[in-house]
Structure 1
Amino acid sequence: MSVGQYCNREVIVTSLDTSILEVAQLMRRHHVGDVLVVEQQGEQNIPVGIVTDRDLVIEILAEEIALDAVTVKDVMSSAITISEKADLWDTLQQMRYQGIRRMPVVNEKGSLEGILTVDDVLALLAEGLTDLVKLVKHEIEQESRLRSKP
């Protein structure tokens, strides 16, 4: 199972010089908790950072910094990326080791393809568990029908 199979391809991006207010408005408008910061290199969007809703609260609001005094570049964390061909379980181990909940997914040229989040993986696992429960229930029903025949 590769990361590219399960990552979210709809990613909200911005540039280094975007204001913090604009980033917060993007998060609100798109109902997301993060915005990826990219640098345009030709036709490639190269991820260079990430700003999360938590960054805005901890780094800006809690410190009472004026919104117009900082840009994305001042608040973002460096982007730790993963290849879309990487194994999903290996990627989860790397995320755990790095202590990150979101990881930009890139192609072989380093261009942004999507993002893998803990929420995406939880949804995948929940779907898999639901399928297993349905399988067991179906198996029990089928066995019951077969065994009840004379």
Structure 2
Amino acid sequence: MRIGEICTVPSIYCKGDETVQAAALLMRKHHVGDLVVIEQPENERIPVGIITDRDIVVSVIALGLDPASLLVGDIMSADLLTAAEDDDVYETIDRMRFRGIRRVPVVNNAGGLAGIVSVDDLLEFLAEEMGELSRISSHQQSHEKRARQ
């Protein structure tokens, strides 16, 4: 299955020149724990980083810094892993596991932000797959009973 089929759309984003406080308020407003940081050349939202609620707590609040005076670009994770909409789910899981990353922006063919996939999205997908697998035995038994009557 393609990662674009299970990613969350739309994803919430901001620019690097937003204040950390504005980013936190945006997270609160949309009930999310992360924002994709974008640049917007030629009307395409290009992911350049990600900021999480944990980044804000560890890098700003815990150090007693003022979130109204810091910019998102100052604390965002810029070593960004992205996935193309057509990437395979299991390959994306491998890449996330290798890098220890819980959230991955999904991009379209032009490199623009198409959505985001999280560990929670992937767990839900895998749980559904496991549920389908668990039904194989019961379907096989039903088929076998009908065939032997």
What corresponds to 2:54 in structure 1? Answer: 54
Q: Does 2:98 align with 1:97?
A: yes
Whichever residue aligns with residue 41 of structure 1, its letter is P
Shift of 1:49: 0.7
d(CA) in 2 for partners of 1:133, 1:115: 29
Give the number of aligned pairs: 148
Shift of 1:16: 1.2
Shift of 1:133: 3.4
Deviations 1:93-135 (A, max 9, x none): 1111111111111112111111111110001111222333345
d(CA) in 1 for partners of 2:48, 2:126: 29
Deviations 1:8-55 (A, max 9, x none): 112001111111111111111111110011111112000011000110
Q: TM-score, normalised by structure 2?
A: 0.88
What corresponds to 1:35 in structure 2? Answer: 35
What corresponds to 1:20 in structure 2? Answer: 20
d(CA) in 2 for partners of 1:94, 1:144: 41
d(CA) in 2 for partners of 1:52, 1:82: 18
What corresponds to 2:68 in structure 1? Answer: 68
Q: TM-score, normalised by structure 1?
A: 0.87
d(CA) in 1 for partners of 2:95, 2:143: 43
d(CA) in 2 for partners of 1:28, 1:134: 40
What corresponds to 1:131 in structure 2? Answer: 132
Percent of aligned pairs with the same amino acid: 40
d(CA) in 1 for partners of 2:146, 2:61: 64
d(CA) in 1 for partners of 2:22, 2:68: 10
What corresponds to 1:82 in structure 2? Answer: 83
Q: Does 2:119 align with 1:118?
A: yes
Whichever residue aligns with residue 117 of structure 2, its letter is L
Shift of 1:139: 5.2
What CA RMSD, in Å, does the superposition of the two structures yield over aligned residues? Answer: 2.0
